[in-house]
Structure 1
Amino acid sequence: MAIEVVQMPQLGESVTEGTISQWLKNVGDPVEKYESLLEVLTDKVNAEVPAPVTGRVAKILVDAGATVPVGTPICEIEVEGADTGEAEPAPATTDNKGAQPVESPVTAASETASPASSDGRGRYSPAVRRLAKEYGIDPATVAGTGAGGRVTRDDILKAATNRPSAQAAPAQPPVSAPAPQKEPVAAPAITPIPAVIDDGDTVEPLAPIRKVIAERMVRSKQTVPHAWLMVEVDVTGLALLRQRLKDEFKAREGVSLTYLPFMMRAVVEALRAVPQMNAQWNGDSIVYKKRINLGMATATDRGLIVPVVKDADQKNIVGLAKATQELTQKARAGRLTMDDLSGGTFTVDNTGAVGTVLTYPVINAPEVGIVTLESVVKRPMVVGDMIAVRSMVNICLSFDHRVVDGAEAGKFLQVIKKHLESIGPDTSIY
């Protein structure tokens, strides 16, 4: 028999480490090739990792809850009928602090890059460089705790928290010379106020997915200058169309006809009209995305995740309805793949599903915007010179003010409003 060593996968271009959420197989369990072996969380995605071969789980080298660098051996699978001479040796220790990543050509090139590189591109991952720049920290001055002394995101965040306030900004040139324009330096992180625990209170440790959600939300609010706008939209025609079609649509297509695919179609039109919203912040540059991949914030029993509808601009209402329902079902069943969770360029949140009428959403960085569809409610409105009962909905937008100004954000919302209000009882959905 041979031993196949499974390594921590790289779930995204700039991802350098991952947290094992849970093992789906135990030592001694049989596992089929491509069967889910474990769940991994990163700062980009949370996904199930499939087994690379068919066999039996021989050893688990890294416990659930541990965070290790990409390439670290995490388990061994015993493969029947294979030549043991080809088996890759496994580390003798299960201490993940001592685990070393198995070097691929890409990793090796990164680790052996010339130390004389002026910007550290050969020594630090893109995520570390970006975070260091946001906090005004030279990563060369930070002691790395990763494998081989590598500097990780946590090292940069710790350095930002512990540095003296006098070091929060670089030295300024003499007053007589005009100061060059520089990226604003974020203030050191503020230590949170601890909770007060009284008798009878229940203290529950954070689940790995909740830790990732917390880190993402805090980082987004600390590093992205959020701005917010809202418009109200008359969707009476859309409500009548949905009411007329929903039963027939369910019988014919096998999925429910909700307001979400109509909203997504409107967002596609708005992203085409305002390409600044279909972009990503990249430190010293802005990346304008060619594809339109819509993330859809989805609540599950394990936390909030954002699966992605790829190439949403190439789908009609029927296609969007099927895609959103399929992703929602996979998310709630814990069957999302890495591909389902990656590649988003803009996020839509159907907060109206839980009854809200006004929401201030947090941006899913590095995207530059997120829009919410609130509850559709009937309200008296002035139509011409008369009062009429209309189906109304609020559309709320948070946007990154480094990339988008109010004029572009307002135009974006107006395109959504115009599209939704143009839908009538006889509009085709095919």
Structure 2
Amino acid sequence: MPSNKTLQDVVMPQLAESLVSATIGKWLKKPGDAVEQYEPICEVITDKVNAEIPSTLDGVMGELLAEEGQEIEVGAVICRIETASGNASSASGADSGQSAASGQTAESGGRSASVSAASIATTASGDQAQRSRYSPAVQTLAQQHGLDLRAIIGSGLGGRITRKDVLNYLENNKGSAAPQTRPAVPAPANAPFQAVSNELNAISEPVRNSGLHLSETPKIPTIEVEGGDRSEYFIDVTPIRNTIATRMRQSVSEIPHGWMMIEVDVTNLVQLRNKLKDEFRQREGVNLTYLAFLLKAVVGAIKDYPIMNSVWAVDKIIVKRDINISLAVGTEDSVMTPVIKKADQKNIAGLAREIEDLATKVRAGKLKLDDMQGGTFTVNNTGSFGSILTQPIINYPQAAILTFESIVKRPVVINDMIAVRSMANLCLSLDHRILDGVICGRFMQRVKDNMESYSLDTQVY
């Protein structure tokens, strides 16, 4: 090796305080490949979320000391990178831990790297298998400059587009890379999802009676076809999908699920949100969603019935003192459960900001492992899809999960008179080893009372 070159060790970073190891899912660089600082070099799998480990320096990939599928302890060397002596820097993984847990879905299966312009338009298979797999840095640059990544030729492994490819494309197309909007989908715009009747703001498009809490048009999943014939096709099971499957199977097989539902009159809440949402948006820069009000109601009920905030430990039940609410947030091909820590110490405005922050992280692929840990009770907003009845699977090892269904107008009998009210169902799945019908019924009634107690005088700060 030339004297002006040096080898730097790259170690498995400490992605989170409680993490002691992670599994190498896929190497994105092979020996001899050029590596830029912050460019992902491999994908790792944890029990919570997949992450990309970025390089902490510029250089050339050297020896790979860990194999795909191998579990590596934190601090162990996974590879070496050859650098110029003047540019050598510590590859301890501290920087990697800061940005690695990006929440990006890692696809399985390895393929060779060979890029040619003629193959870009073809289906992502063979030597272009990673063509449509983008790192957080690439996605962020594309969003900032309104780029269509399909027009960029990738130089990475398997045709993968690197950050350098995007920067080169911008340099070569100065003045022509005007911001682009995403292709239109055959569905109504945002407005129909924000109103149900004349009680809400007037809109120009047809009014729908579902999906009241949606803030954007649902995205359609992107499916990668691996092969098959006329009668079938194959979809790779990604590592994160495999993790979801494992945890769901564990939840259903170990936890005896019970289920109940309660109906809530949220007419006053609808009126309150309509009164505050525009001013709140101007003041805070985030949406004031119904979910924030629900979380406040749930947290208040958990304070009254702390057994809901517990886990099963075989010979004992562990009741958590902190109320950390896990939010089920769906992406195109998976479900994440980021956590609002100490939700009981936040007001409605604070909860709204937390919801927006976590949802933005999920969509941008910037979710860190620490964002996923410590949840004690899960809330899911299934009503955003127009659902009115759900039987959710408990987020293991928690004791319960609550779903908030769609708000719809229904005739309701009040004092022997029929009135049209905004109604919503709350559905609860419970661990019957810990919880029984009586305690859960009282808990649900308390959530209902809290939701129905909102009025035009309710303060969000």
| Interval containing the TM-score (normalised by the shorter chain) | 0.5 to 0.7
Output the amino acid matched with 2:59.
Answer: R
Q: Which residue of 2 aligns with 1:364?
A: 395
Distance 1:321 1:38 in 2: 35
Distance 2:379 2:52 in 1: 23
CA contact (8 A) 1:31 1:57 kept: no
Deviations 1:399-426 (A, max 9, x none): 1111112211112111110100000122
SS at match of 1:287: strand
CA contact (8 A) 2:16 2:370 kept: no
Q: Which residue of 2 aligns with 1:215?
A: 246
Q: Which residue of 2 aligns with 1:75?
A: 79
Cα deviation, residue 393, structure 1: 0.6
CA contact (8 A) 1:277 1:368 kept: yes
Q: Which residue of 2 aligns with 1:103?
A: none
Cα deviation, residue 62, structure 1: 4.3
Distance 1:283 1:87 in 2: 42
Aligned length: 317
CA contact (8 A) 1:347 1:369 kept: yes
Identity %: 46
Distance 1:406 1:37 in 2: 51
Q: Which residue of 1 aligns with 2:11?
A: 6
SS at match of 2:418: strand
Distance 1:331 1:406 in 2: 35
Q: Which residue of 1 aligns with 2:130?
A: none
Alignment of 1:24-423 (within 5 A): 27-32=33-38, 38-49=42-53, 53-56=56-59, 58-59=61-62, 60-62=64-66, 66-71=69-74, 73-78=77-82, 81=85, 199-423=230-454
CA contact (8 A) 2:50 2:239 kept: no
Unaligned residue ranges in structure 2 (runs of 5+)? 1-5, 93-227
| CA distance 1:411–1:22, shift in 2 (3 Å) | farther
Distance 1:208 1:243 in 2: 42
Deviations 1:39-60 (A, max 9, x none): 4332234445465x44436244
CA contact (8 A) 1:9 1:70 kept: no
Output the amino acid matched with 1:358.
Answer: L
Distance 1:419 1:339 in 2: 30
Distance 1:24 1:262 in 2: 43
Cα deviation, residue 79, structure 1: 5.7
Cα deviation, residue 342, structure 1: 1.0
Cα deviation, residue 21, structure 1: 4.7
Output the amino acid matched with 2:358.
Answer: L
CA contact (8 A) 1:241 1:425 kept: yes
Q: Which residue of 1 aligns with 2:22?
A: 18
Distance 1:318 1:246 in 2: 11
Distance 1:364 1:428 in 2: 31
Distance 1:407 1:80 in 2: 69
Q: State the TM-score, normalized to the length of structure 2.
A: 0.63
| CA distance 1:372–1:58, shift in 2 (3 Å) | same
Cα deviation, residue 286, structure 1: 2.1
The CA RMSD over aligned residues, in Å, is: 2.8
SS at match of 2:232: coil
SS at match of 2:34: coil
